[in-house]
Amino acid sequence: MKISVEQTPKQKLSQYVIDHVDAVSIVHLPGIHLSNTIATIQKIRRQNQFINIIPHIAARNLKNKKELYDNCDLFQSLGIKNILLIGGSNPTGNCYGDVRGVYEDIIKKEYDFKLLCGVYPQHETPKQVFINKYDKFSRGITQICLNLHLINKFDSRTIVGVPSNCSASELLKFIKLCGITRTVREALPNISGLKYLSHSGFNTAKFISKLDGDRDIHIFNFGNLEKTIKNINKSN
């Protein structure tokens, strides 16, 4: 099992986390220029020069193509091998409306990146992801989904996104932010995952122990990240 974790450009992960995970992904937030990711990459490299760093590019957060190309040039010069492409939480974009345009422009420039995509188990089947996404993207990361039955339908090419050992309120806040509680159809499949919540927070280690096979996981940083990694290490 390989573990990736995420951080915003302004956050700093503890040395323990950096030294006990395989990859760090850097979130591309609305209103934040992609160039902010560059300084974060350099800081992480000073903590651990060998760790895999995965910048996010949120299509609708980009102001123009120059922002995309300038920073992809810098990513390449810094030895970045993987990039996660997502649409972003903004409903509209100044330059790109969705991931497809960004994907096509990156391919056009012939950058040497492996591109990852978001996978949405609540409304995508493994077959749909295989046909529509994995013909272009090397791997995918599931967005927040607490239904093990849905997650276990996907094979090892899909990295499983799981919450950190956060409180119930933090988990609910993120679920709402992702929009998966807007409809009953999307909210109901996650109810089964609530049994992994207790006064100590979400039991990430127990949740991932129920995954089929040896799965790579991505931990959404909702708080208590170091505690989460330590608990996973204890359980393995």
Mean pLDDT of the chain: 91
pLDDT of residue 199: 83
Q: What is the rounded CA–CA span in Å between residue 83 and residue 86?
A: 10
- pLDDT of 191 > 80? The answer is no
pLDDT of residue 190: 64
**Mean pLDDT along residues 111-126:** 94
Q: What are 153-185's pLDDT values in tens digits?
A: 999 999 999 999 988 777 777 666 555 445 445
**Mean pLDDT along residues 4-33:** 96
- More confident site: 127 or 167: 127
Concatenating the DSSP letter of every residue in 135-149 gives: TT-SEEEEPS---HH
Q: What is the rounded CA–CA span in Å between residue 5 and residue 230?
A: 13
This prediction's pTM:
0.91
Report yes or no: 222 and 169 within 8 Å, Cβ to Cβ. Answer: no
Domains annotated for the chain, with CATH where assigned, are: 3-235 (3.20.20.220)
Taking CA atoms, 190 is separated from 100, 102, 169, 175, 196, in Å, by 28, 31, 15, 10, 11
- pLDDT of 138 > 50? The answer is yes
Length of the chain: 236
Q: Which residue has the tokens 């039991």?
A: 203
Residue 151 DSSP class: H
Concatenating the DSSP letter of every residue in 26-90 gives: E---TT--TTHHHHHHHHHHHH-TTSEEEEEEEGGG---HHHHHHHHHHHHHTT--EEEEE--SS
**Mean pLDDT along residues 176-196:** 60
**Mean pLDDT along residues 207-211:** 95
